Amino acid sequence: ASVTDVDITGTFSKVATFSGLQTKIYTTSQVYFDVLVKLARAANGNTAQALVDGVTMNTYNGTPVVFIDELYTQNATEANSFVLFVGDMSQAGIFTDRTGLTFTTSTEQGYLSDDVYQKSMARYGVNWWNIGNASATASARRRGALAALVLKN
């Protein structure tokens, strides 16, 4: 299965509509260039200048695209693969630094060879509070600030 424009615009309809929502598309740069740019270039009305200049801003259908290359994605054409989030991440949760970045050094293991070992550690916390649900009962469903596009078999 491949992603279509209908899939992406359908994901927009799953996001809540409340005051202050600044909708964006969150995805990896690989999905952006492999899927979204190809869909934009395949649209009718592309001029030779548009093909030469390429897509000049990271947007899709006027919506800003934010690259989050830490998101786990497979090839966007594989079944059961995550493609992108649509919505406002700042309204859905918060990403915090729990301990800060710490460095420790050790010379014990490499004492005889004058090696110095360094270890760094950082801990992060994510608190989601407005993500909605996917209840099987239609009347119990609640839209949140984010919606995900996932390809199924």
List pLDDT tens digits, range 70-101: 666 555 555 557 788 888 888 887 777 777 77
Sorting pLDDT into bands at 50, 70 and 90, what band is 24? very high
- Please say if the pLDDT value at position 16 is more than 60: yes
Residue 23 CB: number of other CB atoms within 10 A?
A: 16
Instruction: Tokens for 150, please give them.
Output: 């996932």
pLDDT at 114 over 60: yes
**Cα distance between residue 73 and residue 28, in whole Å:** 8
Which SS3 state, helix, strand or coil, does residue 22 take?
A: coil
Beta-carbon contacts of 105 under 8 Å, excluding residues fewer than 6 positions away, are: 116, 117, 118, 119
| Residues 28-46: tens digit of each pLDDT | 888 888 888 888 878 766 6
Residue 145 has pLDDT above 80, yes or no: yes
Q: Residue 21 pLDDT more than 80? A: yes
pLDDT in tens, 44-61: 666 666 666 666 678 888
Predicted TM-score (pTM) of the model is 0.66
Q: What is the dihedral sign for C-alpha 138, 147, 17, 34?
A: negative
138 DSSP assignment: G
